[in-house]
Structures are given as C-alpha cells and as structure tokens.
C-alpha cells in the first residue's frame, strides 16, 4: 500500500502549477533538460516539485490558486449529506494531495508569521478534510461490504488514494474470512 501511495504522490508532484518569477533574470533548467530564460514578474508553469524547490531558493513564488476554502466547504457540505454509497460523488483531481499541500503551506506560513487568520484557516481545513475523509471512507467501506471491490461505480467515484486503501481493506477482509472459514 505504501508503495502505491508513493507512486501516486510522485505523479502529483509532476503536475504543473503556476508560479511568478520573483528574482531578476534567471535561467531555469527544466526536467526535459532544456532551459528557459525568465524575468521578474513573469508567470510560468512548472512541475510542482520544481516550483517548490525554486520557491525555497527565492527564485519563484507559487500561485496558491488550486485550493479554495469555499470549494472545500461545499465539498464538505455535500459529503456530509450523503447517506448511502450510491450518493458518493467524485472529488476533484488530486483533492487529498492539494489539501495536504495547502496544510503544509499554512504550517510554513505560521512558522514565519503566526497570524490568527492562518491558524483559523489551518484548523478549518484540517477539520473539514477529516470530516470528508471519514464520511467518504465510511461509505466506501459500506459499499465494499455490500457489493465487493469490483463495483464499477465505486471505482468511478473513489479517488485513487481511496481505492488503494479500500483494495487493501478488501484483501485483508477476504483473508480474515478465509481464516474464520466463512
């Protein structure tokens, strides 16, 4: 399971994000081996891992526009209204990774600027994310116990991260039943 999650995280780290160049003139070497010349104020797209590395060096600044508290609250509201596994809705791409990354970003901000707004936002995001995860996993496990892991709608509605966990649970449940002879 850990290996599968690491592969999903690596794929996430390769997704593009927008950055703004904050240093004067720079030459940035891209993963493809080519280089680009950029100037201060220029907006470009880079793989997430490269954007994070260059931000730490003070060359670029990430545009944190992938995450919205309002969108998170809407997802939480819809998720908490779900009563059965068939009510599950697909989450936005990379939902858990983006939320996690946003929480880490807030932690970094709090280390340099303990603003009460950041503290409140971090608490709100963590609580909402926990509610969403708990409810969705509860519905997914319920679906698994009733229909099994091959239910097509389950695979369409679950995130890749949820599927890794659910498939592991399914395998362990099957082995458990075998040991009990059921």
**What are the boundaries of each domain within the chain?**
2-62, 69-180
Identify the CATH assignment for 69-180 out of 3.40.50.1390, 3.30.420.40, 1.20.58.2050, 1.10.10.10.
Answer: 1.20.58.2050
% of the chain residues with pLDDT over 90: 63
pLDDT at res. 27: 83
The residues facing 37 across adjacent strands are 27
Cα separation, 28 vs 106, in Å, equals 27
pLDDT tens string 115-172: 999 999 999 999 999 999 999 999 998 888 887 656 566 778 899 999 899 888 888 9
Cα separation, 164 vs 159, in Å, equals 9
Q: pLDDT tier at 65 (50, 70, 90 boundaries)?
A: confident
Q: How far is CA 124 from the centre of its chain?
A: 16
Average pLDDT over residues 64-69: 84
**What fold is seen in the domain 2-62?**
Ribosomal Protein L9; domain 1 (3.40.5)
Structure tokens at 41: 């104020």
pLDDT at res. 152: 66
The residues facing 28 across adjacent strands are 36
Helix crossing, 116-147 with 95-112: angle to 10°? 160
Q: How far is CA 96 from the centre of its chain?
A: 3
Q: Distance of CA 144 to CAs 2, 132, 159, 171, Å?
A: 21, 18, 15, 11
Q: pLDDT tier at 34 (50, 70, 90 boundaries)?
A: confident
pLDDT surpasses 90 at 28: no
Give the residue from 168, 180, 107 showing the smallest Cα distance to 137: 168
pLDDT at res. 95: 95
pLDDT at res. 2: 86
Residue 112's SS3 state is: helix
CB neighbour list of residue 127: distance below 8 Å, 6 or more residues apart: none
DSSP 181: T
Average pLDDT over residues 1-10: 92
């Amino acid at each position: 399971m850990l290996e599968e999650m690491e592969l999903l995280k690596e794929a996430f780290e390769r997704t593009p994000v927008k950055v703004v160049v904050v240093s004067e003139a720079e030459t940035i070497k891209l993963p493809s081996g080519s280089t680009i010349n950029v100037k201060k104020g220029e907006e470009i797209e880079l793989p997430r891992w490269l954007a994070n590395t260059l931000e730490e060096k003070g060359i670029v600044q990430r545009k944190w526009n992938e995450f919205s508290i309002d969108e998170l609250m809407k997802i939480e509201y819809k998720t908490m209204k779900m009563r059965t596994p068939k009510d599950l809705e697909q989450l936005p791409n990379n939902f858990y990774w983006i939320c996690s990354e946003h929480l880490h970003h807030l932690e970094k901000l709090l280390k340099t600027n303990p603003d009460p707004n950041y503290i409140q936002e971090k608490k709100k995001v963590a609580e909402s994310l926990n509610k969403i995860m708990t409810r969705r996993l509860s519905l997914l496990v319920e679906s698994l116990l009733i229909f099994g892991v091959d239910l097509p709608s389950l695979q369409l509605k679950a995130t890749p991260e949820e599927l890794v966990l659910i498939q592991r649970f399914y395998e362990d449940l099957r082995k458990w039943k075998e040991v009990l002879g059921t």
